[in-house]
Amino acid sequence: MKIAFVFPGQGSQTVGMLDAWADSPVVQHAIGVANQALGQDLGALIAQGPDTDLNLTTNTQPAMLLSAVAMFNAWLDAGGPIPDLVAGHSLGEYSALTAAGVLDLSDAVKLVRIRANAMQDAVPVGVGAMAAVLNLDDAQIKDVCSLAAQGQVVEPVNFNAPGQIVIAGHKEAVERACEIAKSAGARRAMLLPVSAPFHSSLLQPAAQILEHALDQIELHSPRIPILNNVDVEMPVEIDLIKSALVRQAWHPVRWVETIQTMRAQGVTHIVECGPGKVLSGLVKRIDKELTVLSITDPSSLEQTLNSLKN
Residues annotated catalytic, as ranges: 90, 199
Neighbours of 270 (CB within 10 A): 27
Q: Give the orientation angle of helix 204-215 with respect to helix 105-122, to 10 degrees.
A: 150
What is d(CA 91, CA 85) in angstroms, rounded to the nearest whole number?
Answer: 17
- Rounded Cα–Cα distance for residues 274 and 69 (Å): 8
Measured in whole angstroms, the distance separating CA 172 from the mean position of its chain's CA atoms is: 26
Residues in the chain: 310
Look at phi and psi of residue 60 and say left if phi exceeds 0, alpha if psi is from -120 to 50, else beta.
alpha
Beta strands in the chain (DSSP E): 3-7, 85-88, 128-134, 154-161, 164-170, 188-191, 269-273, 291-295
Asked whether the beta carbons of 160 and 134 are under 8 A apart, the reply is no
